[in-house]
Each structure stands twice: as C-alpha cells, then as structure tokens.
Amino acid sequence: MQIETAVDLIKEGVMSSSQQTWADLGAGQGMFTKALSTCLSAGSTIYAVDKDGAALRSITIEPTITLHTFQKDFVKDALDLPLDGILMANALHFVENQLAFIQRIRKNLKPAARIILVEYNTDHGNRWVPYPMSYSTLQTFSREAGFASVELLHEVPSAYQGSIYSALLR
C-alpha cells in the first residue's frame, strides 16, 4: 500500500483543527502512523504501539508531531492514556474477543473521541487474518459495543481479500 492510499483511508475521520493525542494500535512499521501524522495539527501526539520493537524504531512521521513508541501487545497490555482517537489499521482482525477489547480500550477515550478502523471487508478469516470484520458486521458490532454511530469513510481494492475499508466509530 502506498502512503497516499493510507491517508485517503483515514483523513476523513481525523479532526485536525486542534492539537490531539492519538494511539495507533498495532502500528508495525508505521505506514498508518505516518498517514495519521499528516492529518493531525502541529503539536499533536501519536503513541505507536506494537510488539515488534524493530518495526517501531523504523517509524518516521511529520516533524511537527510528537511520536512515542511502546513495545507492547496492544491486545493484552493496557495503555492508560487519555486519547482523542485510536487508529487500528489492519489490527482488529488479530483480536479474538473484539467486543471485550473495544469496550476496554474505550476507557482511554475522551468524551468526543473517535476510533478509526481499517479492515478487510470480509467475515471469513484465514491464518494471516484470523478475525476480520466486514463493514456490514461492524454496523451491528458498533451498536453492541455502545457506539452512537459508525460511518464508512473509504474503501479500496485489496489484492488479498477483495477490499479494505475504513470506518469511523463515535
């Protein structure tokens, strides 16, 4: 995926008019961390979280954004920070109990905060993407998780699973 595609997937869901604090859970080498940094206002902060320390060390972002990296398992380890937003790009499909997980991470969100998900638009897993969630399933899931709204932001073709979508949960 190109950085421009990553930006297109998330930019509509990021409110960039003021300094914000976001977490990128399952950041990997930072493709979406970098994309997020281009959407945020100067002085904002991103916490990139991933189990792979070498991947975290390779992340580069916009120089006007503060980056903190945490080598943690985002599924098991708490991130007790007040956040304006959480980005999970190609990460939720690694969480077996997605409802309990989302309810746990919501505790980190400030009142007007948001979650942006980037996922394969399928409900059929495989060994690389064990627990994907189609946008259709996400609509029901978001109500069960207590979100007031879910909005489809963008969708792009995928060489692996048909398409990838991004959605905003509020």
d(CA 85, CA 114): 5
pLDDT tens profile 120-167: 999 999 999 999 999 999 999 999 998 999 999 999 998 776 899 999
d(CA 162, CA 159): 7
Indicate if the pLDDT at residue 1 is higher than 90: no
Provide mean pLDDT across the span 26-39: 97
Could you tell me the maximum CA-CA distance found in the chain, to the nearest angstrom? 40
Domain count of the chain? 1
User: 22 φ, ψ to 5°?
Assistant: -125, 160
Q: Are 49 and 74 in contact (CB under 8 A)?
A: yes
Indicate if the pLDDT at residue 5 is higher than 90: yes
Per-residue pLDDT at 9: 96
Q: Cα 99–5–139 angle (5° rounding)?
A: 25
Domain with 28 in it: what CATH number?
A: 3.40.50.150
Give the residue numbers spanning the domain of 77.
3-169
pLDDT band at residue 112, thresholds of 50, 70 and 90?
Answer: confident
Indicate if the pLDDT at residue 86 is higher than 80: yes
Q: Does the model's pTM come out above 0.75?
A: yes
Per-residue pLDDT at 79: 84
